[in-house]
Amino acid sequence: MADFSLDHFIDGAFHPSLSGRRFDDPEPARGRVLASVARGAADDVDRAVQAAQEAGRGWALTPVAERSRWLSRIADGIEARFEEFAAAEARDTGKPLSLCRAVDIPRAVANFRFFAGAVLHDELGCHPMEGALNYTLRRPVGVFGLISPWNLPIYLLSWKVAPALATGNTVVCKPSEVTPLSAGLLADVVREIGLPPGVFNLVHGFGPEAGQRLVEHPDVPGISFTGGTATGKIVGATASAQFKKLSLELGGKNASIVFADCDLEATIEGVARAGFANQGQICLCGSRVLVERPLLERFTEGLAAWARARVIGDPLDPATTFGSLVSLAHRDKVEGYVALAKEEGGRIVAGGRRPEDPALGEGAFFEPTVVADLPPGCRTATEEIFGPVITVHPFDTEEEAVALANAVRYGLAGSVWTQNLGRAHRVAANVESGMIWVNCWLLRDLRVPFGGMKDSGVGREGGRHSLDFYSELRNVCVKL
Ligand code: TXE
């Protein structure tokens, strides 16, 4: 018997699928069923889009200050149920409860509070010209389809919902079928506060059955997608053919570039955290560690010691610092890459296997793994693994480090670790990624542009980039 039962949230109320079909949502750390979930299909998506459309006119005419207050009420609602959200997210993803309390849930609250403010302080252009005056208007796009992944479920869903609602759109959300629980709680908060029906809708289900219908729906003019590059290609092709507004935040194979003059202890901590946070399941994770050769041996051992010091265990145990992966299937995928690493000549310096503790046997656990001696161009070092596996590679010059960092099809994020200011700025400018951190990682200001280049996606969200993405900017030119 599942602990939770999740239905779609359409037009202000919870509904099962029209087909009556459901699917099980497993609890990855315990190998049992966590939730029974309504399995959405095209007809359920059509109902949700219709509700969103009908609510759209009223919501678009709602004064900005009132929309801002609604976002604050959602933030208050999540905060009021903070522990419930944290426990649900930890059980559904396998990540430590401590991480949910420190990052996932506070960031979901912050996303709503940030855009509640951003939309109030919006500034639009005015361009006087000879004999005329131009001014810019911001208008909602309409119904947005928001498709989110399993690694940071409520963190990333709220990052889409908040600006979409703030700018006067209505939404149909399709969270990952792998981790639907916190999205269901968000829908319940929306119900509790009495947000006008149809403004926020949620359909659970699988990508090809529910997600695809949302992307191709003729009455959904905008799509924001976060997920894998392969799926992003499908979503992009469908949405672009209909000239939809489109934001794709996809995969990454990010480099952490470590120079010999770095602050060693702080860099080991920072680079290890970048590689293994959320069990390595963040698109921004630094899974390739490039080290200036004189420091290679010491640094590799420092990373290995950090990995061995993790406490792998039940996500709900306060002592746990490293949880399970998101599913048994994903654990098997990661395990397959470790086997590939060995075939490609890699030396396992730490981890590389499932934990020996029999109490963890039912869960999707895998030890944080450090691999050395791999050729930088091999599959293990160029394909996105999206798990707790980092590869370490030497370099001798700054130019070589940048060339290695850029020698992958992805371009999402990276980090540079050095105390040489000029070099830090040069490398940051030359690495082909949407974001780069210097002597830090995942330090986030919500106003900055967030997104990737190359196979890591299209578009930027964050601050006014989100306000612009989720709206139609229109120019009015008045003859004087
Ligand atoms: O992502 P998918 P998955 C990477 C990571 C991971 C891989 C696959 O490498 O191993 O992607 O993960 C919905 N039309 N990232 O399977 O398939 C799907 O239901 C419309 C990086 O989770 O991309 C889910 O809600 N929607 C990423 C969402 O897309 C479709 C974080 C993501 O699923 C669809 C997660 C379709 N045809 C994984 N097919 C990041 N950048 O953070 C699926 N979906």
Cα of 303 to ligand 1 centre, how many Å? 29
- pLDDT tens digits, 323-375: 999 999 999 999 999 999 999 999 999 999 999 999 998 999 999 999 999 99
Which residue is closest in CA terms to ligand 1's atom 13? Answer: 207
Q: Where in the chain is the domain with CATH 3.40.309.10?
A: 255-445
Question: What confidence score (pLDDT) does residue 347 get?
Answer: 98
Q: Which of 100, 173, 262, 283 does the annotation list as catalytic?
A: 283
Distance between Cα 149 and ligand 1 center (Å): 5
Rounded to 10 degrees, what is the CA torsion of 389, 394, 400, 402? Answer: 30
Count the Cβ atoms, other than its own, within 10 Å of residue 237: 10
Per-residue pLDDT tens for 170-189? 999 999 999 999 999 999 99
Please tell me the total number of residues recorded for the chain in this structure: 480
CA distance 90 to 28: 10
Indicate which residue of 249, 335, 384, 461 is catalytic: 249
How far is the C-alpha of 479 from the C-alpha of 470, rounded, in Å?
29
Instruction: Give the Å distance between the CA of 160 and the centre of ligand 1.
Output: 15
DSSP secondary structure letters along 82-120: HHHHHHHHHHHH---HHHIIIIIHHHHHHHHHHHHHHTT
Q: Whose CA is nearest to atom 16 of ligand 1?
A: 228
| pLDDT tens per residue, range 110-143 | 999 999 999 999 999 999 999 999 999 999 999 9
End-to-end CA distance of the chain: 71
Q: List the pLDDT tens digit at each of the 480 positions of the chain.
A: 899 999 999 999 999 999 999 999 999 999 999 999 999 999 999 999 999 999 999 999 999 999 999 999 999 999 999 999 999 999 999 999 999 999 999 999 999 999 999 999 999 999 999 999 999 999 999 999 999 999 999 999 999 999 999 999 999 999 999 999 999 999 999 999 999 999 999 999 999 999 999 999 999 999 999 999 999 999 999 999 999 999 999 999 999 999 999 999 999 999 999 999 999 999 999 999 999 999 999 999 999 999 999 999 999 999 999 999 999 999 999 999 999 999 999 999 999 999 999 999 899 999 999 999 999 999 999 999 999 999 999 999 999 999 999 999 999 999 999 999 999 999 999 999 999 999 999 999 999 999 999 999 999 999 999 999 999 999 999 999
Residues 428, 458: Cα–Cα separation, whole Å: 20
Q: Distance (Å, rounded) from C-alpha 279 to C-alpha 20?
A: 35
Cross-strand pairs, 132: 129, 479
- Cβ-Cβ contacts under 8 Å for 457 (sequence gap 6 or more): 229, 232, 247, 248, 249, 250, 412, 434, 451
What distance in angstroms lies between residue 320's CA and the mean position of ligand 1's atoms? 27
Identify the CA nearest to 108 among candidates 138, 78, 83, 132: 78
Closest ligand 1 atom to residue 238 Cα is 14
Dist. CA 467–CA 197, nearest whole Å? 23
Active site (annotated) includes residue 477: no
Q: In which residue ranges of the chain is CATH 3.40.605.10 found?
A: 4-250+456-479
Pairing, β 414-417 against β 437-438: parallel
How far CA 436 is from CA of 134, 413, 433, in Å, comes to 36, 5, 7
The candidate with the shortest Cα–Cα distance to 93, out of 151, 6, 174, is 151
Superfamily, domain 255-445: Aldehyde Dehydrogenase; Chain A, domain 2 (3.40.309.10)
- Whether 283 sits among the annotated catalytic residues: the reply is yes
- Nearest 5°: the CA angle 203, 206, 210 is 50
pTM recorded for the entire structure: 0.97
Please state which CATH class domain 4-250+456-479 belongs to.
alpha beta
Average pLDDT across the chain, whole number: 98
- Which residues have C-beta atoms less than 6 Å from ligand 1? 147-151, 174-178, 206-208, 211-212, 215, 226-228, 231, 234-235, 249-251, 283, 384, 386
Residue pair 238/231 in contact (Cβ under 8 Å)? The answer is no
CA atoms 190, 193, 198, 200: torsion sign: negative
Q: Which of 471, 368, 441, 479 is nearest to 124 (CA)?
A: 471
